[in-house]
């Protein structure tokens, strides 16, 4: 008999030893690397834009920062004897055992907070006796190693609350859009109520009423345990707990934020970004972002009604640092495609999640002209140089099949015009002539130097490039104008200012990188033209008022692509650059002559008139005085009749009769007819 009993005990001991063999050490709980979400903040580090996470969304909160209400509500809901009883509750285990025997399967536990922690951190969710034994052994080991406060801290930072939220901080952010440090008593009770069955009690599910019932049970238990007074409980029960909307993920500035996410993944890898607990301070100005979203949303509503333009985008940048302050990639990231029934990527005029600002390759119309004129000024031409706005056929290849005859926006011609008037009024024929004089390759080189990253297929473009015959991105165009604003100094465009690991160590920090790409005189000449309201009045007319801001000098350029498919406005001060695109995602044209002045300028103005209230008055630096060449047309004269051998000849309209296009200040050409133009 004794031998039999001994054999049973020995067998049990062996079985127990085999069961607990290979169990993890309790020391691992403090040293294990807990998966944490990466958090993206605005430039102040106070506005949370987004949390990037894998299957577990988690932010570790120090125990001292977890409110007492949250701790006590959790204990009241899950383990009232947590501080007074050992790692496991024999009465609860016995009660569960009886239930399991009666139901004939292992369905019910009797788990303390310590046991729940062990189960979630170390073990699988299988319901077997062997797993329960492991749970009890580890729970005892855990309480021999750590204090009750430490165990409760581990628990509150690692337990699941539903909706991929692990830990009380992530749960508070998901359900209430606030830190756990700021939750009320009623909200604390809700968090504790969720722990029993997070999916079942979801505030967005069909059992929301039962969540309220359980919340009230938790509050009653808190009174019974002496944690709160009955009056506090009653106030908490009356409190209307408001939950954040589901599924949106509490993402702010979604197009900007997802651009930052893509950058982080490319630099650090997806695993680190989803689980590494990085803190990312971005360049985004949340106040300006809200202004931008409002201007785009309201402006697009007007454009849709008036011009059939269903979408718009905006980029705002600090030209002095390259920091991107706001990005609106569409009128509504979460909006349904339009028109109803369209196929995304094929024939939708609006697709909210497509970031037009960053990924849309669109023809910029006349918005590239300033960089053509800068190149011409570098060659020796000036704002007073005269060209003729007259119907002209461009045949640079001596091939009539490839000849090109541009027209001005209104179909008219104006005769002799100074370059400053040609740029101010955005005249097309003079702009093509200026590109020819400046040189295509040098102009393309300047476009890239100022910040345009597209236009890489040289063979595709001709003289129509100055009128938008190539595709650019809005975010690049804004960067190029930022370089123009800074008199030829290009700052590296940046959206991430600082990245810290979960321990607060800086792993990346932005330092301004600037490069001079042009002599300051030439951008100053262009800025002087673009900031003169009188020069642009002939085309803006009554809309010119939208380009003038009291106490601020503002330069701007518009662009409208062929058939009114794209409308652009980019404007700047010494401290702010704002670019707007309006149109349709599927490249369909706007109706009723929807142009940049009508569709883009009002959106641009709506943002800038509010944004500039934050900025002090600044003026642009004037260009240095320069002397005019005595050559005809270079000297600004447009009325002249040359006298040769005592005989007066008719006026010659081509500047190439007097200058070599690559060297306008040098000797006159010996054979003007040799130039194909």
Whether 81 has a pLDDT exceeding 50, the answer reads: yes
The percentage of the chain sitting over the pLDDT mark of 70, rounded to a whole number, equals 85
Question: Collapsing DSSP states into helix, strand and coil, what is residue 325?
Answer: strand
How many helices (H) and strands (E) the chain has is answered by: 23, 19
Range with the lowest mean pLDDT among 265-269, 325-329, 579-583? 265-269
Range with the lowest mean pLDDT among 173-177, 223-227, 353-357, 576-580? 173-177
Question: CB-based contacts of 12: which residues, under 8 Å, 6+ apart?
Answer: none
Confidence tier at 52 by pLDDT (50, 70, 90): confident
Q: Per the domain annotation, does 445 fall within a domain?
A: yes
Whether 101 has a pLDDT exceeding 50, the answer reads: no
pLDDT computed for residue 18 by the predictor: 40
> Which domain-ending residue is among 526, 555, 574?
574
Task: Return the higher-pLDDT residue of 594 and 585.
Answer: 585
pLDDT computed for residue 648 by the predictor: 57
Whether 40 has a pLDDT exceeding 70, the answer reads: yes
Looking at the fold, whether 82 and 224 belong to one and the same domain comes out as yes
Please give the mean pLDDT across all residues of the chain.
87
Answer yes or no: are the C-beta atoms of 305 and 579 closer than 8 Å: no
Phi, psi of 110 (to 5 degrees): -155, 50
The predicted model gives 260-267 an average pLDDT of 92
> Which domain-ending residue is among 556, 574, 592?
574
Task: Return the higher-pLDDT residue of 502 and 522.
Answer: 522
Confidence tier at 432 by pLDDT (50, 70, 90): very high
Identify the helix (H) or strand (E) that includes residue 514. Answer: strand 514-516
Whether 677 has a pLDDT exceeding 80, the answer reads: no
Task: Return the higher-pLDDT residue of 7 and 483.
Answer: 483
The predicted model gives 405-423 an average pLDDT of 92
pLDDT computed for residue 13 by the predictor: 43
Whether 5 has a pLDDT exceeding 50, the answer reads: no
Whether 598 has a pLDDT exceeding 60, the answer reads: yes
Range with the lowest mean pLDDT among 11-25, 227-241, 312-326, 581-595? 11-25
Looking at the fold, whether 413 and 561 belong to one and the same domain comes out as yes
Looking at the fold, whether 233 and 363 belong to one and the same domain comes out as no
Q: Per the domain annotation, does 250 fall within a domain?
A: no
Question: Collapsing DSSP states into helix, strand and coil, what is residue 338?
Answer: strand
Strands 514-516 and 489-491: antiparallel
pLDDT computed for residue 210 by the predictor: 92
Task: Return the higher-pLDDT residue of 357 and 403.
Answer: 357
Q: Per the domain annotation, does 548 fall within a domain?
A: yes
Whether 17 has a pLDDT exceeding 60, the answer reads: no
The predicted model gives 476-504 an average pLDDT of 97
Whether 523 has a pLDDT exceeding 70, the answer reads: yes
C-alpha dist (Å) from residue 232 to 69, 146, 184, 497, 661: 11, 33, 11, 44, 85
pLDDT tens per residue across span 628-645: 888 878 888 776 666 555
pLDDT computed for residue 639 by the predictor: 63
Q: What is the CATH number of the domain that holds 92?
A: 1.10.3810.10
Confidence tier at 179 by pLDDT (50, 70, 90): very high
Confidence tier at 92 by pLDDT (50, 70, 90): low
Range with the lowest mean pLDDT among 398-412, 477-491, 589-603? 398-412
Looking at the fold, whether 406 and 540 belong to one and the same domain comes out as yes
Global pTM value = 0.78
Confidence tier at 104 by pLDDT (50, 70, 90): very low
pLDDT computed for residue 267 by the predictor: 92
Confidence tier at 109 by pLDDT (50, 70, 90): very low
pLDDT computed for residue 14 by the predictor: 41
pLDDT computed for residue 26 by the predictor: 57
The predicted model gives 370-389 an average pLDDT of 96
Whether 134 has a pLDDT exceeding 60, the answer reads: yes
The predicted model gives 572-594 an average pLDDT of 93
pLDDT tens per residue across span 138-173: 767 777 788 899 989 989 998 989 877 889 999 998
Sign of CA dihedral 17, 20, 22, 28: negative
How many of the other CB atoms lie within 10 Å of CB of 131? Answer: 16
CA distance 605 to 546: 6
Confidence tier at 106 by pLDDT (50, 70, 90): very low
Q: Which of 189, 273, 181 is nearest to 236 (CA)?
A: 189
Q: Which of 562, 595, 548, 558 is nearest to 579 (CA)?
A: 558
Whether 1 has a pLDDT exceeding 70, the answer reads: no
pLDDT computed for residue 653 by the predictor: 66
Sign of CA dihedral 640, 644, 647, 649: negative
Looking at the fold, whether 557 and 412 belong to one and the same domain comes out as yes
Q: Per the domain annotation, does 15 fall within a domain?
A: no
The predicted model gives 59-84 an average pLDDT of 93
The predicted model gives 173-178 an average pLDDT of 90
Q: Per the domain annotation, does 600 fall within a domain?
A: no
Confidence tier at 9 by pLDDT (50, 70, 90): very low
pLDDT computed for residue 208 by the predictor: 87
The predicted model gives 95-107 an average pLDDT of 47
pLDDT computed for residue 447 by the predictor: 98
Range of the domain at 393: 359-574
Answer yes or no: are the C-beta atoms of 52 and 261 closer than 8 Å: yes
Whether 401 has a pLDDT exceeding 70, the answer reads: no
Q: What is the CATH number of the domain that holds 553?
A: 3.40.710.10
pLDDT computed for residue 564 by the predictor: 92
Say how many domains are in the chain: 2
The percentage of the chain sitting over the pLDDT mark of 90, rounded to a whole number, equals 60
- The length of the chain is 677
CA angle 9/12/16 to nearest 5° reads 140
Q: Which of 116, 22, 120, 28 is nearest to 75 (CA)?
A: 116
The predicted model gives 272-283 an average pLDDT of 92
> Which domain-ending residue is among 519, 553, 574?
574
């Amino acid at each position: 008999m004794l031998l039999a009993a001994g054999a049973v005990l020995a067998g049990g001991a062996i079985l127990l030893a085999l069961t607990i063999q290979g169990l993890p050490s309790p020391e691992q709980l403090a040293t294990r690397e807990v998966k944490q979400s990466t958090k993206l903040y605005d430039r102040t580090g106070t506005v949370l834009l987004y949390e990037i996470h894998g299957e577990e969304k988690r932010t570790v909160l120090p125990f001292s920062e977890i409110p007492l209400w949250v701790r006590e509500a959790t204990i009241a809901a899950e383990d009232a004897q947590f501080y007074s009883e050992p790692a496991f509750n024999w009465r609860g285990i016995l009660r569960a055992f009886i239930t399991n025997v009666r139901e004939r399967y292992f369905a019910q536990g009797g788990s303390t907070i310590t046991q729940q922690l062990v189960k979630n951190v170390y073990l699988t969710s299988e319901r077997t006796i062997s797993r329960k034994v492991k749970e009890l052994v580890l729970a005892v080991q855990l309480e021999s190693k750590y204090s009750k406060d430490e165990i409760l801290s581990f628990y509150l930072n690692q337990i699941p609350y539903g909706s991929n939220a692990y830990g009380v901080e992530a749960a508070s952010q998901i359900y209430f859009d606030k830190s756990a440090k700021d939750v009320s008593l009623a909200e604390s009770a809700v968090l504790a109520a969720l722990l029993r069955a997070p999916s079942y009690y979801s505030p967005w599910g069909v059992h929301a009423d039962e969540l309220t019932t359980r919340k009230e049970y938790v509050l009653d238990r808190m009174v019974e345990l002496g944690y709160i007074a009955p009056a506090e409980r009653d106030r908490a029960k009356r409190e209307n707990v408001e939950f954040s909307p589901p599924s949106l993920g509490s993402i702010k500035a979604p197009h900007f934020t997802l651009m930052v996410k893509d950058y982080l993944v490319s630099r650090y890898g997806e695993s680190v970004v989803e689980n590494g607990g990085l803190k990312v301070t971005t360049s985004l100005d949340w106040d300006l972002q809200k202004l931008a979203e409002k201007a785009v949303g309201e402006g697009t509503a007007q454009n849709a009604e008036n011009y059939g333009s269903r979408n718009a985008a905006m980029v705002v940048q600090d030209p002095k640092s390259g920091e991107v302050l706001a990005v609106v990639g569409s009128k509504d990231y979460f909006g349904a495609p339009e028109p109803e029934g369209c196929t995304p990527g094929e024939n939708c005029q609006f697709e909210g999640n497509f970031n037009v600002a960053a990924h849309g390759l669109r023809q910029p119309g006349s918005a590239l002209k300033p960089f053509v004129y800068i190149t011409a000024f570098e060659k020796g031409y000036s704002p007073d140089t005269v060209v003729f706005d007259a119907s002209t056929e461009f045949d640079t290849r001596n091939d009539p099949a490839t000849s090109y005859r541009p027209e001005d926006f209104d179909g008219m011609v104006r005769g002799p015009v100074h370059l400053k008037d040609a740029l101010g009024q955005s005249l097309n024929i003079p702009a093509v002539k200026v590109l020819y004089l400046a040189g295509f390759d040098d102009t393309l080189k300047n476009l890239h130097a100022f910040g345009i990253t597209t236009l890489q297929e040289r063979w595709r473009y001709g003289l129509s490039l100055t009128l938008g015959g190539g595709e650019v991105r809005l975010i690049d165009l804004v960067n190029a104008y930022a370089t123009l604003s800074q008199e030829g100094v290009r700052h590296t465009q940046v959206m991430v200012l600082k990245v810290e690991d979960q321990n607060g160590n800086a792993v990346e920090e932005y330092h301004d990188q600037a490069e001079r790409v042009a002599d300051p005189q030439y951008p100053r000449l262009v800025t002087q033209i673009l900031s003169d309201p009188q020069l642009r009045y002939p085309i803006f007319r009554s809309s010119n008022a939208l380009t003038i801001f009291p106490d601020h000098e503002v330069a701007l350029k518009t662009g409208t692509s062929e058939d009114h498919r794209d409308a652009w406005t980019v404007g700047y001060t010494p401290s702010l650059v704002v670019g707007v695109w309006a149109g349709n995602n599927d490249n369909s044209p706007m109706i009723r002559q929807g142009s940049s002045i009508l569709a883009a300028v009002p959106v641009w103005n709506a943002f800038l008139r509010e944004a500039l209230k934050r900025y002090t008055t600044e003026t642009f630096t004037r260009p240095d005085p320069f002397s005019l060449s005595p050559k005809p047309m270079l000297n600004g004269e447009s009325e002249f009749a040359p006298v040769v051998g005592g005989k007066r000849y008719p006026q010659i309209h081509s500047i190439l009769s007097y200058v070599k296009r690559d060297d306008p200040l040098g000797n006159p050409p010996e054979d003007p007819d040799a130039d194909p133009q």
